[in-house]
A and B are shown apart, each in its own frame.
Chain A
Amino acid sequence: MKKRRRFLELAGMSFLALVGKILQPDPVRAFSLSGVGRVHARTLKAKRWAMLIDTLKFNDAEKFAVVIRACHSFHNVPSIAGGQEVKWIWKDTVERVFGEETADYKAKGLQAGDCLLSCNHCDNPACVSVCPVGATFRRPDGIVAMDYHRCIGCRFCMSACPYGARSFNFSDPRLHIAALNPDYPARARGIVEKCGFCSELLDRGEMPLCVKASDGAIVFGDLADPDSGVSRLLSKRTSIRRNEKLGAGPGLYYLI
């Protein structure tokens, strides 16, 4: 009896030791990587990327549709109806978007109607601090980016986001994409995704797709640069952000 227990204890401890060994980082091998990564020549740099949505210019449904289509079709975002939908950029009524701050949104100067929403890329993102594996992280230029390779699908970030900006792939997205774009990966099921301010395009010197499709209604630029389009517009026009009381510091401004 005693020997059996000893054996079990030994087996248990050696199993733990094995697990520990497996979790060790790779030892140095004969073939080591000799190259380095380098920033693209035309990379757009900024200290704090921000997006301005001119609510006055989004005055008919087609304008919203064009912008949303531009994003979703390139990024292979599936179109799923119902509660398990996936959306990176979408529209909702002004009442629902700004409703919690003021019951009477008209007092703030907002018109009734629809409003464009996406991830706000906050200064203090709740999603980044709660992610247990670091799959979502904040880049030095202000973009809250996602590493879809690392996401385990725990959905803590979805619960923590106060703006409801994140979507989960409840099913395989490829089943719900009409035309797959070969120039961008689709995601697998079980992964959380959201708008990334088109960081992969910014890194190659191009503007985000929604900005390009909006025909001037969305302005994108460096908030820290006083000469950029966003800084100048912000100094001229009134702007609000969603639920500022939370202290998240969103980077998405609405010009009203």
Chain B
Amino acid sequence: MPGKTLRSVFYLWLVFLGVLILVGALAYLRQIDGGLRVTGLSRNLPWGFYIAQFSFLLGLAVAVVMLAPPALSLKSGAGFRKTIMLGEFMSIGAVFAVLLFILADLGQPQRLLNMLLHPSPASPLFWDMTALACCLVFNLSAAWIMLDCERQGATAPVRVKQLVRLSLASVVGCYGLAGCLYAILPGHSFLGTAFAGARFLAAALCSGPALLLLALLLLRRIGSFRPDPEAVRILVKIILWAAVIHLFIYGLEFISVLNGMLPQHSHPLLACIFLTGKNAAAGIVVSLAAALGLLGCLAFLFVVLSRVRNSDASLSFALCCLLCYIWFDSNSGFFYGVDAFGGMNTYAPSLSEICVGLGVYGCGALLVTLFWRAALKGD
């Protein structure tokens, strides 16, 4: 595409993001004014859309940072390093969006500093906040230095590798913790297996590179940036293996639940699949998720076929499907739950919540866009 059209596409994209952020800000003002009653949350399911996005985006951030250490080793090419640098920036945007989602979810956001003034080491949320802050700081400094080196054509200094390792440790720890966080929730027993942390990480490694690759392919289509083919190949391989592991763990969970039939585990699962229980709406939501799961499997099959991998369009389609599936998978754990009394509760996000969510995604996307603009200025 010629340069002028690219610039107009860029500004159009910025305007679109601006609209999203405005919608989100207005919806959030409404939430601040009226309280969280404007959301679809209830006493039995106090966590919903916001925390689900927090979980999904955290996975995204983790995944991309996980790819960084091998990229910084001497063996990888400059093209792969550039791709991973872009990924680091995306991870920063994701972490920023995570922090915004947590802020949106609080009932008294003006008391947020209480978490720093009165730290509680026993609480996973405290460690979450610490790990997120560390991740943000390390990622920012690592990406900053990488960009510097890129501009000057020098190789990254040792401290970048160390920074990235630290960031990785903090972010993996954070995400593993998130898995543990959900495991103890009695209301969301479907999420509460020991496998949850591993499954989340696998889903993350699928979604992170998928989004990165999608964005790179989009850039290739509309711009003059050519992502390194070696990088694309490695990313696809990672996505493949992550998808395999994720589906495998899911399959294991299904089998163990349906085999053992312990009521606290099988009840939510069966109620959803067979539309039993008090709320058919929940069943509809989750059969949708199951359908998308099938879609995910199909997408995964697609990606396996090398014919698909070689074509940009079909690869993008497969990645889209995969991303949608992972998004729905990480969200579905929050859309229904068994409360402390054995009753099935459903939850659907209200319009207000969705608007705020769009706004936060807009903020994250804006940050990533600006970073990438700076990083790709030469191209």
Contact = CB atoms under 8 A, between A and B. Distances in A.
Q: Which of B36, B42, B112 has the most CB atoms of chain A within a 10 A radius of its CB?
A: B36
A168 B39 CA distance: 13
Interface in B22-43: 34-37, 39, 41-43
Contact of A132 (B39, B123, B188): B123
Contact of B47 (A23, A159, A162, A167): A159
A83 B343 contact: no
Contacts, number: 134
B106 A153 contact: yes
Contact of A84 (B43, B111, B115, B345): B43
A12 to B, nearest CB: 9
Interface string A132-158: 111100000000000000111111101
B46 A134 contact: no
Contact of A158 (B46, B117, B343): B46
Contacts of B185: 159-160
Interface residues of A, number: 46
A169 interface: yes
Contacts of A86: 43
Interface in B72-108: 102, 105-108
Contacts of B339: 164
Contacts of B117: 23, 133
A96 interface: yes
B342 interface: yes
Contacts of A200: none
Contacts of B70: none
B154 interface: no
A130 B35 contact: no
Interface string B332-348: 00000001111101000
Chain B, interface residues (CB within 8 Å), range? 35 or more
B37 A84 contact: yes
Contact of A150 (B116, B118, B123): B118
B114 A150 contact: yes
Contacts of A163: 340
A131 B120 contact: yes
B124 interface: yes
B187 interface: yes
Nearest to B187: A159
Contact of B109 (A130, A152, A160, A172): A152
A97 interface: yes
B195 interface: no
Interface string A149-189: 01111111011111110011111100000000000000011
Contact of B106 (A130, A154, A172): A154
A153 B107 contact: yes
A136 to B, nearest CB: 10
Contacts of B105: 154-155
Contacts of B116: 23
Q: Which of A151, A168, A171, A172 has the most CB atoms of chain B within a 10 A radius of its CB?
A: A168
A85 interface: yes
A133 B114 contact: yes
B341 A97 contact: yes
Contacts of B118: 133-134, 150
Interface string B36-60: 1101011110110000000000000
Interface of B: 34-37, 39, 41-44, 46-47, 102, 105-109, 111-118, 120, 122-126, 129, 184-188, 263-264, 339-343, 345
Given A99-B342, A130-B123, A170-B41, 19 more contacts: A96-B342, A100-B263, A128-B122, A132-B120, A133-B118, A151-B107, A152-B108, A152-B109, A152-B112, A153-B111, A154-B125, A155-B46, A159-B46, A160-B184, A164-B187, A168-B107, A170-B37, A190-B108, A191-B108
Q: Which 4 A-B pairs have the closest CB atoms?
A: A153-B107, A190-B107, A83-B42, A164-B340
